[in-house]
Amino acid sequence: MAHSAGNEMNIAIQIGFVFLSYLLGSIPFGFLLTRYAINKNILELGSGNIGSTNVRRVVGKKFSVITQLLDMSKGFIPVLVFTCFIKGGMVVPDYYVYLVALATIIGHDFSIYLKLKGGKGVNTTLGASVLLAPYSVFSAAAIFYLVKWRFKYSSLGSITLAISLPLIELIIHGNTSTFYYLLICMALIMIRLRKNIVRLLNKQELS
């Protein structure tokens, strides 16, 4: 009975931590910073996105950089806390850390505080993934900045980053759990970028 109760408690903690990760990921920093800076709703301005690119369009580079760092941090912190402080004290399946990372990303993409509206998830994905796939993250980020510099479109950079993450992981480490996790990340980013892809094809995308 004691073993069964302990196992149920362990499962409850696991579920609770994933839910807390989702709540942290849901914090819409771009929305809040824009409201603070100009007292307007960023969902109604520019591209209508809460990410750092649209924050730059609406309130400038300083708040864009702050948004980027905060969006990365909210992905990074739950994975760091789990890896360094919780993992050793809980019996968890091998895939659990990926659930934690995905919870923060899904929180950003579909924020409970914004009636399930949100951003594209690129910065949060990078933050959540850097401890799980550092080489892939830094390589994909470099490709993002190269594409953005060459073609002037952040969305195009984000598309290439999304594709690069699992591809680089596959090349470096082969067919691993992290590769499949990054495939899911790629799918989430591409789903969130679907309107941008249409605008790029129609040559109507915002820079």
Contacts of 196 (CB under 8 A, 6+ apart): 47, 120, 155, 158, 159, 205
Q: pTM score, two decimals?
A: 0.93
Q: Considering the chain, what percentage of its residues have pLDDT values greater than 70?
A: 96
**Token representation of residue 112:** 């409970």
Average pLDDT over residues 46-73: 94
pLDDT digits (tens, 9 = 90+) for 157-189: 999 999 999 999 999 999 999 999 999 999 999
Question: Which pLDDT belongs to residue 2?
Answer: 47
CA distance 18 to 21: 5
Mean of all residue pLDDT scores within the chain:
92
pLDDT digits (tens, 9 = 90+) for 94-105: 899 999 999 999
Domain segments of the chain: what residues? 1-127, 133-207
